[in-house]
């Protein structure tokens, strides 16, 4: 790293409290982030994993990568942003000063306004100038305030705390100084964060379904053997855990670096572990077994497709969720999915929320009857719509492993809403001021979660283990054996 920063090294090492951090590696993921070339790279890790230091290093590396353009100087203008000036001056700027005190280069600005730090150095390819412009956008984080910015790249400290609208506004202000033609690349927005809330836009765009050009650099949890920034020590994390024994949501996110639930929710399935219960690759469909489809009705209908294996595993293969629609629209989506190469040729057994049977005596018929008509197959009533009955088989599967050590519930990577539901949003309402639980909260994720529960209740039943033809053969065999068996005579004793 010293060869990259050239003559900056001596000045920083003498005057910066954490200057030595510039010449050392926190770990391979941190190093990969520093050298990344994606449009939106984000480093994510537990507290104390040197994410801010990695972001400062990245700023320096990006500056050295420029071609000379400003009178022969590689001038790199970095916008460093937070959503509020209070957070900018209490957190972001002090973190920057731990690496680059204001006395290094030229600092201009004071609380609670924008500030600028200009740092010059020379490496083996010539002079470099880094201009770090610190700004926030007021208490309302108004994206309109970003209109006048002219920067090369942007660094969003604690990116998950930034409103999505602000990210969108800033995306139009990079590659302005210099222009993209001089840069020979798009402007970059890089950031750092702890494990986000699963309802956060950063979770959606980086953890759940990264768009092209987005790349998550995810560090291990603080207590894992390959934890980064090992100098901080295990005791640091053990102390956090000790102080937060009643706040497992905080320990999960800040120590173990797992996206999770907030203090205001009480998840229905705390046994769910996203690392264990989510497949890394698409789960293959076993066409020799039936597929159980659970349906939740109403104006936001949902369907979840499962297979229940002989070893006890529940495989959650796919989900469908609709808004402002009914049985006809849901059936259209279901039939399209079932005709795809992945499911073509499979046998489906469909169960629905018993509430969908309401209105069966009317001329129009019930939602269940209309859905069955559009699907062209029977739709059976689920065994119960009581939350306890619906959740029990899922609890059992989450707590159980197969004989070869595999989890008994696995989500396909394509499943997004149920994944969010397991992690956070499928939660009990907590009665304010008490530790008492109320009903399960209704939200966009609760409908596919309910549908999954209706399917899970069929685990172990004949129609979840055997295809229809096999079930009919077994039934015929049992009837044949009954016919051929010698009738019981109550008068005869001991075979006489």
Residue 281 within a domain:
no
CATH classification of the domain holding 396: 3.30.420.280
Cα–Cα distance list, 344 to 213, 334, 376, 438 (Å): 33, 12, 15, 42
Instruction: Name the residue among 348, 323, 320, 346 with its Cα closest to residue 334.
Output: 320
Residue 132 within a domain:
yes
Examine the domain organization and report whether 130 and 223 are in the same domain.
yes
Examine the domain organization and report whether 171 and 300 are in the same domain.
no
Instruction: Name the residue among 422, 284, 412, 411 with its Cα closest to residue 346.
Output: 284
Examine the domain organization and report whether 336 and 224 are in the same domain.
no
Examine the domain organization and report whether 235 and 296 are in the same domain.
no
Spatial distance between the Cα atoms of 67 and 351, rounded to a whole number of angstroms: 63
Residue 268 within a domain:
no
- What local confidence, expressed as pLDDT, does residue 55 receive? 95
pTM score of the predicted model: 0.74
Residue 370 within a domain:
yes
- What local confidence, expressed as pLDDT, does residue 432 receive? 61
Residue 496 within a domain:
no
Examine the domain organization and report whether 180 and 45 are in the same domain.
yes
Pull the structure tokens for residue 271: 């046994």
Examine the domain organization and report whether 197 and 295 are in the same domain.
no
Residue 280 within a domain:
no
Residue 54 within a domain:
yes
Examine the domain organization and report whether 228 and 365 are in the same domain.
no
- What local confidence, expressed as pLDDT, does residue 426 receive? 93
- Letter string b/e over residues 172-209, b meaning 16 or more CB atoms within 10 A of that residue's CB: ebbbbbbeeeebeeebbbbbbbbbbbbbbbbbbbbbee
Examine the domain organization and report whether 303 and 356 are in the same domain.
yes
Spatial distance between the Cα atoms of 50 and 55, rounded to a whole number of angstroms: 9
- What local confidence, expressed as pLDDT, does residue 21 receive? 62
Asked if 90 contacts 10 with a C-beta cutoff of 8 angstroms, the reply is no
- Count CB atoms within 10 A of the CB of residue 67: 10
Query: Which single residue is written with the structure tokens 């006890």?
Result: 312
Asked if 38 contacts 186 with a C-beta cutoff of 8 angstroms, the reply is no
Examine the domain organization and report whether 172 and 309 are in the same domain.
no
Query: Mean pLDDT of successive 10-residue segments in the chain (496 residues)?
Result: 62 63 85 97 96 93 94 95 89 90 93 94 92 82 71 96 89 93 95 93 91 96 95 95 89 92 76 91 95 96 96 96 92 97 95 94 89 96 94 96 94 94 86 67 94 95 79 74 70 58
Examine the domain organization and report whether 153 and 8 are in the same domain.
yes
Range(s) of the domain holding residue 33 = 2-254
Examine the domain organization and report whether 355 and 416 are in the same domain.
yes
CATH classification of the domain holding 135: 3.40.50.300
Residue 275 within a domain:
no
Domain count, the chain: 2
The backbone torsions φ and ψ at residue 242, rounded to the nearest 5 degrees and listed phi first, read -60, -40
Q: Coil, strand or helix: which one is 116?
A: strand
What's the sign of the alpha-carbon dihedral 252, 257, 261, 262?
positive
- Residue spans of alpha helices (H) in 110-233: 164-171, 180-183, 201-202
Asked if 189 contacts 156 with a C-beta cutoff of 8 angstroms, the reply is yes
Examine the domain organization and report whether 87 and 227 are in the same domain.
yes
Asked if 428 contacts 438 with a C-beta cutoff of 8 angstroms, the reply is yes
Q: Terminal CA-to-CA distance of the chain, rounded, Å?
A: 97
């Amino acid at each position: 790293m010293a060869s990259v920063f050239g003559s900056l090294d001596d000045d920083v090492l003498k005057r910066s409290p954490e200057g030595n951090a510039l010449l050392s590696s926190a770990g391979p993921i941190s190093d990969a982030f520093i050298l990344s070339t994606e449009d939106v790279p984000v480093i994510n890790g537990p507290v104390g994993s040197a994410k801010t230091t990695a972001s400062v290093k990245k700023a320096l590396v990006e500056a050295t990568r420029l071609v000379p353009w400003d009178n022969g100087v590689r001038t790199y203008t970095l916008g460093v942003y937070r959503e509020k000036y209070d957070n900018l001056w209490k957190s972001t700027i002090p973190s920057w000063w731990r690496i680059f005190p204001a006395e290094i280069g030229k600092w201009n600005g004071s609380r609670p306004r924008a500030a600028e730090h200009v740092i010059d150095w020379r490496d083996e390819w010539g002079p470099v100038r880094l201009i770090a412009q610190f700004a926030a956008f007021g208490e309302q984080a108004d994206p309109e305030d970003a209109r006048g910015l002219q920067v090369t790249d942007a660094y969003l400290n604690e990116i998950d705390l930034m409103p999505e609208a602000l990210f969108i506004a800033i995306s139009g202000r990079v590659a302005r100084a210099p222009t993209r033609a001089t840069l020979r690349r798009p402007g970059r927005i890089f950031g750092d964060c702890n494990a986000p809330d699963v309802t956060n836009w950063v979770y959606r765009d980086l953890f759940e379904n990264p768009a092209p050009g987005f790349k998550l650099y995810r560090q291990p949890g603080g207590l894992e053997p390959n934890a980064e920034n090992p100098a901080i020590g295990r005791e640091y994390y053990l102390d956090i855990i000790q102080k937060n024994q009643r706040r497992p949501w905080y320990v999960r996110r800040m120590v173990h670096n797992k996206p999770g639930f907030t203090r205001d929710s009480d998840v229905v399935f705390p046994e769910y572990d996203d690392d264990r219960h989510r497949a890394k690759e698409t789960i293959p469909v076993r066409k020799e077994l039936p597929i159980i489809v659970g349906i939740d009705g109403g104006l936001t209908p949902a369907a979840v497709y499962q297979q229940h294996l002989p070893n006890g595993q529940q495989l959650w293969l796919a989900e469908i969720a609709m808004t402002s629609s009914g049985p006809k629209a849901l059936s259209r989506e279901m039939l399209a999915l079932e005709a795809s190469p992945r499911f073509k040729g499979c046998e489906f057994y469909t169960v629905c929320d018993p509430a969908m049977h309401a209105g069966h005596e009317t001329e129009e018929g019930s939602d269940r009857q209309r859905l069955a008509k559009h699907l062209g197959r029977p739709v059976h009533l689920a065994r119960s719509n009581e939350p306890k009955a619906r959740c029990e088989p899922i609890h059992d599967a989450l707590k159980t492993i197969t004989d070869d050590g595999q989890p008994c519930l696995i989500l396909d990577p394509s499943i997004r809403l149920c994944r969010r539901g397991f992690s956070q949003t499928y939660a009990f309402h907590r009665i304010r001021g008490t530790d008492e639980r109320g009903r399960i909260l209704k939200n966009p994720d609760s409908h596919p979660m309910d549908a999954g529960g209706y399917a899970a209740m069929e685990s172990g039943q004949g129609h979840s283990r055997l295809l229809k033809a096999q079930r009919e053969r077994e039934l015929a065999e049992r009837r044949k054996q009954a016919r051929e068996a010698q009738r019981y005579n109550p008068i005869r004793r001991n075979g006489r």
